[in-house]
Amino acid sequence: MNKKISFINKEGLNFLLIPLKESHNITFLILVKAGSEYESEKEAGISHFLEHMCFKGTEKRPNKKILSTELDSIGASYNAFTGREYTGYFAKAATEHIDKILDIISDIYLNSLFKEEEINKERGVILEEKNYYEDTPRLKIEDLIFELLYKNQPSGQPIIGNEKVIKSLTQKDFIRYKNKHYTNEKTLIVLSGNFNPTEAIKKITNLMKNIKRGKGGQKFKTHYKQTKPAILINPKKTDQNHFILAARAFNCFDKRRYTLSVLSTILGEGMSSRLFQKVREDLGAAYYINSFDELGVDHGFLGISSGVSLDKTEEVLRVIKNELDLLKNVEISNEELKKAKNYIKGKLALSLETSNDYAFHYGLQYLIYNKIYPLKEIYKKIDEVDKKSIQNLARFLFRPEKMNLAIIGNYSQKEEGKFKKLII
């Protein structure tokens, strides 16, 4: 597809335009720098709750059925999402329906009513969503590793929030939080697909003319200091033990992030990765095992996640520890390095096929980095990673004072010492 991505600031609005001339559809995405890491303890969960409420009615569309019927009547795909550092609202539709999705998504962003009766209804939905997470170890473990790494601060709070807060939020709370964070300087408007840039900007500028102006509320800074391995055990009777082993890393602006991506791929991304072969194929001890990098604007870690057989958990942790040691002490082969790089580049190419893909990929990139990285530039950075830099990074990461293990299983807190010995 022909595309020339451009950033434009017009009348205080930030636009990221991604023209895809051969596309038959268009994606309109509004991103705002507001998520769980922008919430105080007394607000824990409000970003996610607010995102839900934006689909419950506006001044122009006073109830959720009117809103959803308008979008369904044009066959649109639409949703919203909340992360730790951002929230997004989007719709995708055939090109001829551009005016409709521009109008609706800007409307829910600007003019949601937050009716008390709708808040009370949705409160129950969110509490059930929270219960679902609590009852699903593969999801719950993700919250636990953040709690362990960033205890007693916004970065360690689950995105879905605190039950006590969810039960107490009122219309005034939503209005206050939205006025604080949903401002023009914190908002990025993304348009991806087949559209006329001049006409689209003119229409969106008119639709968004009442956006609150200003810098808006800022993210709470993340603080941490670790001098020894840390363990968090969540006692629960399960048919599998679920865990995430995390090594503290660096933030998303660090130049070593490309080396980290290659290292993670070698370790546990794909069916030919070291951990998949050792743990699933050779031991038959797990259905899933994978590694991943989680980098935020002021914190980050490399994680290894798995759900393992009850009687093989300790053995699996020993295998993982052995692979970490090998990465520190034995230089990888040229073949393994080449395979990992090709895997990353291939997955990245496959992830950019639709107008949604382009909007999310480049939109989030610009929101965080204030610039975009073309595929060619990312490929170049990946190709520049060498064997020595991977080994040096492994030695930096896999130290006892950087290791953290969160685990859900039939264990007691008294067994922390046993797990510490397995990961150092």
Q: Tell me the CA distances in angstroms from 164 to 95, 123, 421, one per residue in order.
A: 44, 11, 37
Query: Homologous superfamily of 6-207 in CATH?
Result: Metalloenzyme, LuxS/M16 peptidase-like (3.30.830.10)
Assess whether pLDDT exceeds 70 at residue 1. no
E-assigned strands of 33-176? 77-82, 87-94
The rounded Cα 260 to chain-centroid distance in angstroms is 17
- Band (2; pLDDT cuts 50, 70, 90): low
- How many Å apart are CA 306 and CA 279, to the nearest integer? 10
6-207 and 230-423 have identical folds: yes
Query: Shortest CA distance to 113 belongs to which of 62, 41, 180?
Result: 62
Determine the pLDDT at residue 411: 93
* Residues 71-90: tens digit of each pLDDT: 999 999 999 999 999 999 99
Q: What is the pLDDT of residue 413?
A: 86
The pLDDT of 251-257, averaged and rounded, is: 98
Q: What share of the chain is helix, strand, coil (3-state, %, to 5)?
A: 50, 20, 30
Name beta bridge partners: 421: none
Report how far residue 321's alpha carbon sits from residue 396's, in angstroms, rounded to the nearest whole number: 15
Q: What confidence tens digit (pLDDT) does each residue in 264-321 have?
A: 999 999 999 999 999 999 999 999 999 999 999 999 999 999 999 999 999 999 999 9
> pLDDT for 209-243, tens place per residue?
999 999 999 999 999 999 999 999 999 999 999 99
Phi, psi of 323 (to 5 degrees): -70, -35
The Cα 355–Cα 20 span in angstroms is 8
Reply yes or no on whether the pLDDT at 40 is more than 70.
yes
CA distance 363 to 16: 7
- The model's pTM: 0.96
Q: From CA 267, how far away is CA 246, in angstroms rounded?
A: 13
pLDDT in tens, 397-417: 999 999 999 999 999 888 999
Question: 230-423 adopts what CATH topology?
Answer: Cytochrome Bc1 Complex; Chain A, domain 1 (3.30.830)
- Per-domain residue ranges of the chain: 6-207, 230-423
